[in-house]
Amino acid sequence: MFKKILLFLVINFTALAIGGLFTNAGVNSDWYANANKAPWTPPGYMFGIAWSTIMVCFAIYMSSIYPKHENKKMLITLFAIQWILNVSWNPIFFYFHQTILGLITIIALTIVVGIFLFKNYDLLKLKSLWIAPYFLWLLIATSLNAYIVFMN
């Protein structure tokens, strides 16, 4: 199991690193600084803590579900879709300033993570809670993105 966790950690943190290339410049940009942001927007340092925790939990989740899942090809395809959506949101939102497309992307990502959480609950039972932080954070992130869409 340790090797699987390590593999998923590398894949997950690679996604964060790629996204971070676009996030750092975007957060410090005039565009984002002047955007009307939601009053519940967490302080900047919380994003790194949250995403690091989420990716560790998600690696444990994927390592737990992979040996038990009957359709490994579908599981990895869903994981890949999640990865692509996760990585693509940062440049869409922070680099290209496409807030509506960003909202569509993060909603799709939330749905995919929701599928992991709810569709596989019977298979993992309480171990499904390893993905709950990801799902909950995406609900918050979606609300932050939506606020920027509708209030700017």
Percent of the chain with pLDDT over 90: 85
Q: Over 90: is that where the pLDDT of 2 sits? A: no
Q: Over 80: is that where the pLDDT of 137 sits? A: yes
Using CA atoms, how far apart are residues 6 and 103, in angstroms rounded to an integer? 31
Q: Which range is most confident: 18-22, 42-46, 104-108?
A: 104-108
Tell me phi and psi for residue 67, to 5 degrees. -65, -25
CA 141 to each of CA 26, 53, 66: distance values in angstroms, whole numbers, following the listed order = 16, 15, 27
Q: What is the pLDDT of residue 3?
A: 93
* DSSP string for residues in the chain: -HHHHHHHHHHHHHHHHHHHHHHHHHHTSHHHHTS---TTPPPHHHHHHHHHHHHHHHHHHHHHHTTT-S-HHHHHHHHHHHHHHHHHHHIIIIIS--HHHHHHHHHHHHHHHHHHHHHTHHHHGGGGGGGHHHHHHHHHHHHHHHHHHHH-
Q: Over 80: is that where the pLDDT of 130 sits? A: yes
Interval 9-28: pLDDT, tens: 999 999 989 988 877 777 87
Tell me the pLDDT band of 98, cut-offs 50, 70 and 90: very high
Residue of 6, 21, 41 whose CA lies nearest to 147: 41
Residue of 85, 116, 118 whose CA lies nearest to 103: 85
Q: What is the pLDDT of residue 144?
A: 98
Q: Over 90: is that where the pLDDT of 75 sits? A: yes
Q: Over 80: is that where the pLDDT of 43 sits? A: yes
Percent of the chain with pLDDT over 70: 100
Mean pLDDT for all residues in the chain:
94
* pLDDT (average), residues 97-104: 97
Rg (C-alpha) for the chain, rounded Å, is: 16
Q: What is the pLDDT of residue 133?
A: 97
Query: pTM of the entire structure?
Result: 0.93
Asked if residues 35 and 152 have their Cβ atoms less than 8 Å apart, the reply is yes
